[in-house]
Amino acid sequence: MPKTATRDAYGKALAELGEEIKDIVVLDADLSKSTKTSVFAKKFPERFFNMGIAEQNLMATAAGLATCGKIPFASTFAVFATGRAFDQVRNSICYPKLNVKIAATHAGITVGEDGATHQSIEDLALMRALPNMTVICPADEVETRKAVRAAVEIKGPVYLRLGRHPVETIFDESYEFVPGKGVILREGKDVALIATGVMVAEALRAAELLAKDGIEAMVVNIHTIKPIDEEIILKAAECGAIVTAEEHSIIGGLGSAVAEVLVEKKPVPMKRIGVRDVFGQSGKPEELMKEYGLTADDIAGAAKSLLKR
């Protein structure tokens, strides 16, 4: 399967959309070559604003542009977009419900060698806690492109979580992306694997592993963490056991969002695959995924241990 980083898909999609939608403007914080907004910048220099290494100013400037009818895409690394500029995102973007799209790249520990300071593992928790915010975490190149377009169609703030590391392409062009609607990628009745972002491919592999042991796992892609698709989670709960998988802290992200739905509507045994409340470290993305228990094996193992109970 071909591999593409979702940041690359973002850069391409943004430059394409820029042609079509003239109100799109792009802001970056000296990372345009990494976030791939440089593709847009080259094509539409007058609509690209490099704000320098000043993320707080970047977010509030994007808010100001949005008040005048622009559709700003504000890009930097996820750790800075959501951490350093949290108050700006909260007070200047989400509270007034301004039409700013925060497209943050280098999310999760697959940032790799840069280490813990640059590995955003709490961004979903932070962004999900904000009223008016839509939170989207695409799984591959195709889904990213469609999500970028969908983000423009949503009126209001959107957080797009993108990665640095190339990931397998799961979807083909016919794939239909509907914000807020999860997707069943594989039917199964014994256990449901609910994943987001780069963990979707891992979950699909985990389902293969489980199948070898005669376990039929349903695989659900939750690309929109907020608003979460309650319906599909309740459907998944009919399997009687759920494993969530995210390249994020187990606190506050997909696992928490799914647990919140289940605990109120249909409690079932559940395990969360994610970074277990620790900071990351330097290393190769694949090594880190293994080190922090974010592989297909880990998901399959969690599913089995649930079924043994």
Partner 1 sequence: MPLSKEKLEELTMTARKVRRHIIEMTAEAGSGHPGGSLSAADILVALYFHEMKVDPKNPHWPERDRFVLSKGHAAPVLYAVLAEKGFFPKEELKTLRKINSILQGHPDMKKTPGVDMTTGSLGQGLSAANGMALAGKLDGKDYRVYVLLGDGELEEGQVWEAAMAAAHYKLDNLTAFVDYNGLQIDGPIVEVMSPEVIQEKFRAFGWHVIDVNGHDFEDIVRAIEEAKETKGKPTVIVARTVKGKGVPFMENQVDWHGKAPSREQAEEALKGL
Q: Residues with catalytic annotation?
A: 55
Nearest to 74 by CA among 113, 36, 28: 28
How far CA 59 is from CA of 117, 145, 160, 210, in Å, comes to: 20, 23, 14, 44
Nearer to partner 1, 97 or 290 (CB): 97
For residue 54, the minimal CB distance to partner 1 (Å) is: 4
- Note whether 267 binds partner 1 by CB under 8 A: no
- Pick out residues in 98-127 that bind partner 1 (CB under 8 A): none
192, 162 in Cβ contact below 8 A? no
- Note whether 17 binds partner 1 by CB under 8 A: no
Q: Which helix (H) or strand (E) holds 67?
A: helix 55-67
Tokens 């187990």: give the residue.
250
- Note whether 2 binds partner 1 by CB under 8 A: no
Nearer to partner 1, 1 or 68 (CB): 68
Nearer to partner 1, 57 or 169 (CB): 57
What does the alpha-carbon distance between residue 108 and residue 20 come to, in Å, rounded to a whole number?
31
Q: Could you tell me how many residues of this chain bind partner 1 (CB under 8 A)?
A: 30
Tokens 């390249």: give the residue.
247
Neighbours of 57 (CB within 10 A): 15
- Note whether 19 binds partner 1 by CB under 8 A: no
Member of 6, 75, 92, 110 binding partner 1 (CB under 8 A): 92
Structure tokens given for 233? 């989670």
- Pick out residues in 64-83 that bind partner 1 (CB under 8 A): 64-70, 72
What does the alpha-carbon distance between residue 182 and residue 78 come to, in Å, rounded to a whole number?
23
For residue 49, the minimal CB distance to partner 1 (Å) is: 7
- Note whether 51 binds partner 1 by CB under 8 A: yes
Member of 16, 43, 47, 283 binding partner 1 (CB under 8 A): 47
Q: What's the chain's Rg over C-alpha atoms?
A: 18
> Residues in the site for partner 1, rule: CB under 8 A?
25, 46-47, 49, 51-52, 54, 56-57, 59-70, 72, 87-88, 90-92, 95-97
